[in-house]
């Protein structure tokens, strides 16, 4: 993490301090308000629960510090992605999305956007580098892609997309703003599922959109208010608490993932391992240039479905669940969702367990 990100991570732990009065709680109050005292509208800080409540505004302050940009929060990652797409697309617009990215984004585009006259074009993450973006309104990308972990050069793609007249939206969920900063690399909007590492405890869904273009962000904000996709106060409070430890959790998770990826890659039962931090990985050079850390996700193949399922069920320190970025190491066979991967392909999300007991448990399960 660079010095500026470290400063922002420190600031976020104290972002409410200046506003505290003697006797105020240090922890963030949960404000479950639908209505506010409103003798007159002019000058009111809060009007109605769909317009804004203090509990989500506090999370947005944290996120704005991390992104170094204004942020609008949402009740899930998909709500944030929907807002970014609704804010940037219209009838007849061409949308480029990754064929190998988060599958719900593809389904949303095909099931709801295409019937409204959006031309949805799916391309492989590896194809972004050379793809002709002519005629596109929005170039949407995800890097590293989930679950294949291919990496796109965000700055290069942004330059070419802008030259073609398109806006660039980056799904930064797998990295978080501490590890990758798409806005600094030229993206117009960042979308992210804070359900994953930022909230971090596998107990809440949340998302946000970040951007520095005031007009675009006003549309994102309007979409939230008009569609009603607003976060709840308790969920916002959970996310606020999670984000306070994001930096320290990421440090452990990324360090462990680097060691585990190296050891897994050397194991005879493992094939086609992907981790952007391995010097042997196809994405290493660009990852090193554009990421402040290599993340906590590892993709690899075991021989077949049975072998992969056995590994996952026999390792006591891997929870079998979908999703990633939680405190617990988790893993799943992505083919069970129809991802275009080998039947024995596992996506592993390394958690905060101490490294050696975690690896020892994985090694026993691999060798069984």
User: Which residues lie near ligand PLP (CB under 6 A)?
Assistant: 76-78, 81, 102, 142, 146, 171, 173-174, 193, 195-196, 205, 207
Nearer to ligand PLP, 140 or 270 (CB): 140
CB 230, min distance to ligand PLP, A? 15
CB 263, min distance to ligand PLP, A? 25
Checking phi first, is residue 50 left (phi over 0); if not, alpha (psi -120 to 50) or beta? alpha
Nearer to ligand PLP, 102 or 296 (CB): 102
For residues 144, 145, 146, 148, the Cα torsion angle rounded to the nearest 10 degrees is -100
Burial string for 289-318 (b: 16+ CB within 10 Å, else e) reads: ebbbbbbbbbbbbbeeeebbbebbeebebb
CB 146, min distance to ligand PLP, A? 5
**Nearest in space to 305 (alpha carbons), one of 264, 346, 361:** 346
Beta strands across the sheet bearing 319-320: 271-274, 297-301, 345-349, 330-333, 319-320
Question: Cβ distance 43 to 37 under 8 Å?
Answer: no
Question: Cβ distance 293 to 172 under 8 Å?
Answer: no
CB 279, min distance to ligand PLP, A? 25
The residue number with the shortest CB distance to ligand PLP is 77
Question: Cβ distance 197 to 253 under 8 Å?
Answer: yes
Nearer to ligand PLP, 11 or 323 (CB): 323
Helix (H, G, I), strand (E, B) or coil at 97: strand
CB 355, min distance to ligand PLP, A? 24
DSSP code per residue over 311-331: HHHH-TT-EE-S---SSS-EE
CB 191, min distance to ligand PLP, A? 7
Nearer to ligand PLP, 234 or 368 (CB): 234
Q: Among the residues of the chain, which ranges form H helices?
A: 3-12, 54-67, 77-88, 103-108, 154-163, 214-227, 233-244, 246-265, 284-290, 305-314, 355-367
Nearer to ligand PLP, 167 or 297 (CB): 297
Nearer to ligand PLP, 66 or 229 (CB): 229
Question: Cβ distance 194 to 324 under 8 Å?
Answer: no
CB 212, min distance to ligand PLP, A? 21
CB 323, min distance to ligand PLP, A? 6
Nearer to ligand PLP, 67 or 142 (CB): 142
For residues 190, 169, 109, 136, the Cα torsion angle rounded to the nearest 10 degrees is 170
**Nearest in space to 125 (alpha carbons), one of 174, 165, 163, 162:** 174
């Amino acid at each position: 993490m660079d010095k500026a990100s470290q400063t922002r991570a420190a600031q976020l732990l104290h972002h409410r301090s200046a506003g505290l009065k003697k006797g105020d709680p240090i922890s963030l109050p949960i404000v479950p308000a639908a209505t506010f005292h409103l003798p007159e509208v002019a000058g009111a800080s809060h009007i109605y629960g769909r317009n804004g409540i203090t509990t989500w505004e506090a999370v947005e302050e944290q996120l704005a510090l991390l992104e170094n940009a204004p942020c609008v929060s949402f009740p899930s990652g998909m709500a944030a992605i929907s807002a970014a797409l609704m804010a940037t697309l219209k009838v007849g617009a061409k949308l480029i999305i990754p064929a190998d990215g988060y599958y719900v984004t593809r389904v949303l585009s095909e099931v709801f956007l295409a019937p409204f006259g959006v031309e949805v074009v799916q391309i492989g993450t590896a194809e972004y580098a050379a793809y002709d973006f002519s005629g596109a309104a929005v170039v949407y990308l995800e890097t590293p892609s989930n679950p294949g972990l291919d990496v796109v050069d965000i700055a290069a793609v942004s330059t070419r997309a802008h030259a073609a007249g398109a806006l660039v939206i980056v799904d930064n969920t797998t990295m978080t703003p501490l590890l990758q900063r798409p806005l600094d690399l030229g993206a117009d909007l960042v979308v992210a599922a804070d359900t994953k590492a930022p909230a971090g405890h596998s107990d809440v869904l949340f998302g946000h959109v970040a951007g520095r273009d005031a007009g675009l962000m006003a549309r994102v904000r309007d979409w939230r208010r008009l569609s009603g996709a607003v976060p709840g106060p308790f969920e916002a409070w959970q996310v606020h608490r999670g984000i306070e430890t994001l930096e320290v959790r990421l440090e452990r998770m990324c360090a462990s993932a680097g060691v585990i990826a190296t050891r897994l890659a050397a194991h005879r039962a493992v094939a086609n391992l992907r981790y952007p931090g391995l010097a042997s990985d196809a994405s290493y050079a660009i990852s090193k240039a554009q990421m402040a850390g290599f993340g906590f996700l590892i993709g690899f193949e075991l021989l077949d479905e049975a072998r992969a399922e056995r590994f996952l069920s026999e390792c006591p320190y891997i929870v079998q669940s979908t999703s990633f970025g939680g405190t617990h190491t988790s893993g799943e066979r992505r083919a069970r969702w129809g991802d275009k991967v080998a039947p024995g392909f596992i996506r592993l999300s390394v958690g905060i367990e101490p490294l050696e007991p975690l690896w020892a448990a994985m090694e026993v399960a691999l060798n069984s």
